[in-house]
Amino acid sequence: MVINTKEFKGLSISGSLFSLTTFKNVTFESCVFYGSKIENCRFVNCNFINCEFKFTNISHSNFTGTRIENCKWDYSPIKKTEFNFCYLCAVTMHFSSSESNNTHSSCTSNIDLSWDQALMAGEAELASEKREQENFTNLVENFLFGKQAA
């Protein structure tokens, strides 16, 4: 089976089996893969952006020219899988490299960060977003209720 040129946003995939499927030019954005299996699949020029993998097993698959960015991996092993000419965020690179039977060929990453730095960068981004939200809320309250800045 071939799935070609599709975009999936905010999709929740639970308890599914993807096997012997080729995905070409498919984008998964803010999708959650829960309790699923992805095996013997090919991903060519695909994107996984802000996705979550929870209790999902990936094995015997091939990713070529695929971008995996800002994804979370909770109890989701990646085994016997090839990554060729891919961009992998630091967290994905860490998880995919933790198994010795995965291969990476000509992949790029923001892996220059240590594991602790990558985690701290994510936490710093959340803190920054929280501060921005608080600043916005204060500005709206000041506008609506006429509070003066100190």
**Would you list the domain boundaries of the chain?**
2-112, 113-150
What pLDDT is stored for residue 146 in this prediction?
Answer: 73
Name which of 111, 133, 108 is nearest 121 in CA terms. Answer: 111
Q: Is the pLDDT of residue 52 over 90?
A: yes
- CB of 110 closer than 8 Å to CB of 91: no
Q: What is the mean pLDDT of residues 2-28?
A: 95
Q: Is the pLDDT of residue 9 over 80?
A: yes
Say how far apart CA 1 and CA 13 lie, in whole Å. 18
DSSP three-state, residue 122: helix
For the question of whether the overall pTM of this predicted structure is more than 0.85, the answer is no
Q: How far is CA 108 from the centre of its chain?
A: 15
Residue 105 in tokens: 């060929």
Question: Would you say the C-alpha torsion 134, 139, 141, 146 has a positive or negative sign?
Answer: positive
The CATH code that applies to domain 2-112 is: 2.160.20.80
Q: What span, in angstroms and rounded, lies between the C-alpha atoms of 52 and 54?
A: 6
Neighbours of 58 (CB within 10 A): 25
Please indicate whether residue 112 or residue 116 has the higher confidence score (pLDDT): 116
Residue-wise pLDDT tens digits, 89-113: 988 988 888 887 999 998 888 755 5
The full DSSP string for 47-108 is EEES-EEES-EEES-EEES-EEES-EEES--EES-EEES-EE-HHHHHHHHSSTT-EEES-E
